[in-house]
């Protein structure tokens, strides 16, 4: 048995305007899908959040373009059509597995809504139900407290993307109107109202029913202040004309790629929207087991955890999957380009057998940045980052680099400071540092920063005990200028003497 697809209208913005049925279906769904621009913040999810429950699968569907230009061979429409096909395929994987899928839609799902593009592609293949919602036009009419039509009057709903001349003709020939999709189109919309001779009775409503709602005469609106979620009214309830679902487009050809994703050092809130988008779009997750475990489970995806010392093999596996048409996310903690998987993937990708397999790198917050932020600004001046692991480089090279960095008076962030297999090396590194740096040099030790066992210690080079440090720590050695404030904050001034 396949799952059931629901297009659920959320209303214009106030979570209390979500219908009882919509709230019930949202809470009961196995999978909740929602659209967002590239920043990753979804208005629909924000409205639905009171009705979500723990353990639900969330599918973030991120538009490749909104108002930007694109180098897609099919132009803007080609990029959007390809996105809708890929998004529909992701939801179909859940439906095929028997999971019920709710697609969230602001307002009403079939009234200028993104859901309709999923409906066209999936409703003929799966049991489908559309749950109507209060439209933005209804919300705006309620906000201004004005009837939009009475008796035999005619209401016209228009997109603000029409040319000003056409808008003016339509406005002049109707009793009342709602003009949607303002934002950048506002100047031409205002011009159309003026041409039609109805500017004096036109109203403007922004973010209707939310705590950011704004209502005023259309003639008084500053064009630079108009967001997309606004509309212009000629004072109306609304019944949209619903089109029959179109025939689906052919299945898109598989285009595999590898995206190396930085999760940040710990807390999920430190994972960027771009990283969340890459993870949501992936068919396969590849990485060191504990890092893969940090990604919320999604049964549509295949997970490939592995040991921490098989970077080349892991990279080759990811590239082989991508070569077969899979979208693969290789996950790293922190930033993937800092002592992590990005370099390993690119090195293996240079082999002839992987020619043509695209590789992208999505940055993440580094452990050094996270530790620094927790104590203040110790990286406020020049600094360097060194790994004390000698698995991939000789120990004498590490010592020599450490000696030069210490002599240069740089703040030094030490990754991989001490493990069970090399417990002596941090002590040896401190001996090298103490040859050049004063005992009172400020030292910060951050352990599991952003995680449940976070601990921060501010000490000195003379007092640091190597035995208190393990592989979950980052050690930051201050420069001669690094200071601790009376309140305990650590900073390195941006000025330097001399």
Tens of pLDDT, residues 383-431: 999 999 998 899 999 999 999 999 999 999 999 998 888 888 899 999 9
Distances in Å between the Cα of 116 and the Cα atoms of 48, 293, 490 are 19, 34, 53
What pLDDT sits at residue 239? 37
Average pLDDT over residues 10-24: 95
Does residue 243 lie in a domain region? no
348 pLDDT higher than 80: yes
CA nearest to 102, candidates 16, 13, 17, 35: 35
Question: Among 33-37, 147-151, 244-248, 271-275, which stretch is predicted with the lowest mean pLDDT?
Answer: 244-248
363 pLDDT higher than 90: yes
Question: Among 12-16, 254-258, 455-459, which stretch is predicted with the lowest mean pLDDT?
Answer: 254-258
Question: Among 14-18, 83-87, 238-242, 340-344, which stretch is predicted with the lowest mean pLDDT?
Answer: 238-242
Does residue 262 lie in a domain region? yes
458 pLDDT higher than 60: yes
Token couple for 403: 């000696």
What pLDDT sits at residue 250? 52
Does residue 498 lie in a domain region? no
Average pLDDT over residues 8-33: 96
Whether residues 110 and 152 fall in one domain: no
245 pLDDT higher than 80: no
**What percent of the chain is modeled with pLDDT above 70?**
96
- From 132, 162, 193, the end of a domain falls on 132
What pLDDT sits at residue 300? 93
* Backbone φ, ψ for residue 493 (5° rounding): -60, 150
What pLDDT sits at residue 240? 37
Whether residues 85 and 156 fall in one domain: no
pLDDT tens figures, 71-119: 888 888 888 999 999 999 999 999 999 999 999 999 999 999 899 999 9
Q: What is the mean pLDDT of the chain?
A: 91
What pLDDT sits at residue 254? 55
The boundaries of the domain holding residue 442 are: 368-491
pLDDT tens figures, 282-316: 999 999 999 999 999 999 999 999 987 788 999 99
Give the distance between the most distant pair of CA atoms in the chain.
Answer: 92
Whether residues 387 and 400 fall in one domain: yes
- From 132, 150, 167, the end of a domain falls on 132
Question: Among 40-44, 124-128, 177-181, 358-362, which stretch is predicted with the lowest mean pLDDT?
Answer: 40-44
pLDDT band at 243 (very low <50, low <70, confident <90, very high): very low
Whether residues 227 and 302 fall in one domain: no
Average pLDDT over residues 3-21: 96
Whether residues 128 and 42 fall in one domain: yes
Average pLDDT over residues 225-248: 63
Rounded to whole angstroms, how far apart are CA atoms 243 and 424? Answer: 72
Domain count of the fold of the chain:
4
Burial of 467 (0-12, 13-18, 19+ CB in 10 A): exposed
Average pLDDT over residues 208-214: 92
- 281: domain CATH number is 3.40.1010.10
SS3 per-residue string spanning 111-148: CCCCHHHHHHHHCCCCCEEEECCCCHHHHHHHHHCCCC
- From 326, 342, 365, the end of a domain falls on 365
Whether residues 85 and 124 fall in one domain: yes
Of 66-70, 224-228, 301-305, highest mean pLDDT: 301-305
236 pLDDT higher than 50: no
Question: Among 10-14, 334-338, 377-381, 449-453, which stretch is predicted with the lowest mean pLDDT?
Answer: 449-453
What pLDDT sits at residue 246? 45
**∠ CA(406), CA(408), CA(410), 5° rounding?**
70
Whether residues 331 and 376 fall in one domain: no
Whether residues 394 and 470 fall in one domain: yes
Average pLDDT over residues 216-223: 93
Average pLDDT over residues 123-140: 96
What pLDDT sits at residue 247? 52
67 pLDDT higher than 80: no
Whether residues 361 and 375 fall in one domain: no
Of the chain, the end-to-end C-alpha distance in Å amounts to: 76
CB atoms within 10 A of CB 403: 15
For tokens 């098989």, the residue is 310
244 pLDDT higher than 80: no
pLDDT tens figures, 423-435: 888 999 999 999 9
Whether residues 291 and 408 fall in one domain: no
């Amino acid at each position: 048995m396949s799952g059931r697809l629901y297009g659920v209208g959320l209303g214009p913005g106030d979570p209390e305007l979500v219908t009882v049925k919509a709230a019930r279906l949202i809470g009961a769904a196995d999978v909740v899908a929602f659209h967002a621009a590239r920043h990753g913040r979804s208005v629909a999810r924000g409205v639905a959040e009171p009705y979500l429950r723990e353990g639900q699968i969330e599918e973030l569907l991120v538009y490749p373009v909104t108002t930007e230009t694109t180098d897609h061979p099919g132009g803007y429409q080609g990029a959007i059509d390809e996105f809708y096909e890929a998004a529909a395929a992701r939801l179909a994987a859940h439906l095929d597995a028997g999971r019920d899928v709710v697609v969230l839609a602001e307002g009403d799902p079939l009234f200028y809504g993104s859901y309709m593009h999923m409906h066209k592609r999936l409703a003929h293949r799966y049991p489908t139900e559309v749950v109507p919602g209060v439209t933005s036009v209804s919300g705006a009419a309620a906000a201004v407290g004005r009837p939009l039509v009475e008796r035999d009057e005619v209401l016209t709903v228009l997109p603000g993307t029409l040319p000003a001349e056409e808008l003016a003709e339509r406005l002049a020939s109707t009793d009342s109107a709602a003009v949607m999709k303002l934002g950048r189109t506002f100047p031409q919309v205002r011009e159309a109202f003026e041409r039609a001779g109805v500017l004096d009775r036109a109203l403007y409503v922004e973010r209707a029913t939310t705590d950011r709602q704004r209502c005023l005469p259309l003639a008084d609106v500053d064009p630079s202040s108009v967001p997309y979620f606004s509309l212009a009214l000629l004072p109306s309830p609304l019944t949209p004309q619903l089109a029959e679902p179109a025939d689906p487009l052919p299945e898109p050809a598989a285009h595999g790629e590898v995206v190396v994703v930085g999760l940040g050092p710990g807390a999920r809130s430190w994972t960027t929207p771009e990283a969340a988008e890459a993870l949501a779009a992936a068919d396969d997750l590849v990485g060191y087991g504990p890092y893969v475990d940090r990604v919320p489970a999604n049964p549509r995806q295949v997970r490939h955890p592995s040991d921490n010392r098989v970077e080349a093999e892991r990279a080759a596996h990811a590239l082989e999957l991508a070569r077969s048409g899979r979208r693969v996310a290789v996950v790293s903690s922190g930033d993937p380009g800092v002592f992590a998987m990005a370099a390993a993937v690119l090195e293996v990708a240079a082999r002839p057998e992987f020619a043509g397999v695209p590789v992208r790198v999505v940055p993440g917050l580094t452990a050094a940045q996270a530790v620094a932020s927790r104590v203040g600004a110790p990286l406020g001046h020049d600094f360097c980052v060194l790994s004390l692991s000698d698995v991939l480089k000789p120990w004498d090279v590490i010592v020599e680099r450490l000696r030069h960095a210490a002599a240069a008076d740089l703040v030094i962030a030490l990754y991989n400071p001490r493990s069970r297999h090399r417990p002596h090396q941090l002590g040896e590194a401190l001996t090298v540092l103490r040859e050049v740096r004063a005992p009172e040099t400020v030292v910060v030790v951050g352990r599991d920063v952003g995680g449940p066992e976070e601990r921060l210690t501010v000490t000195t080079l003379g007092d640091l005990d190597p035995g208190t440090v393990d592989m979950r720590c980052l050690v930051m050695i201050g420069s001669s200028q690094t200071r601790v404030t009376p309140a305990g904050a650590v900073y390195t001034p941006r000025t330097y003497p001399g």
